[in-house]
Amino acid sequence: MTVPRFGNLRDGPAPQAPGAETFTELLHAGGARVERIASRAVRDGAWYEQPWPEFVLLVAGAGRLAFADGTEQALGPGDWAHLPAGCRHRVAWTDPGAETIWLAVHLP
């Protein structure tokens, strides 16, 4: 028998230091991966250029994504982004006074 799982995106490990992020995989099925990301006081995070598309939803806090062309996009609770495969991006900033929670869906 298959048993459903439940949770809350606000529950999970917090970053241990300013500028850190924690990644928690919530689900991996059908070639897709869903993860919870918690950030605190990130400035100019690592660049990502993934070979798969990604859907990102900002759940709590505030952040800005930066792109290779020099543009940035501010995000608040409820804002989402679709990042096509090969889209070079990074977290440019997250709120230093509160934990920022993201939901990321990595698509096959």
* Phi-psi group of 30: left, alpha or beta (phi > 0 → left; psi -120 to 50 → alpha; rest → beta): left
Task: Kindly list the distances between the CA atom of residue 60 and the CA atoms of 6, 37, 40, 91, 98, in Å, as whole numbers in the listed order.
Answer: 19, 11, 11, 15, 9
Span 49-105, pLDDT tens digits:
999 999 999 999 999 999 999 999 999 999 999 999 999 999 999 999 999 999 999
pLDDT for the residue numbered 17: 85
d(CA 55, CA 1): 31
Helix (H, G, I), strand (E, B) or coil at 75: strand
pLDDT for the residue numbered 82: 98
3-state secondary structure 2-53: CCCCCCCCCCCCCCCCCCCEEEEEEEEECCEEEEEEEECCCECCCCECCCCC
What is the value of pTM for the model shown? 0.90
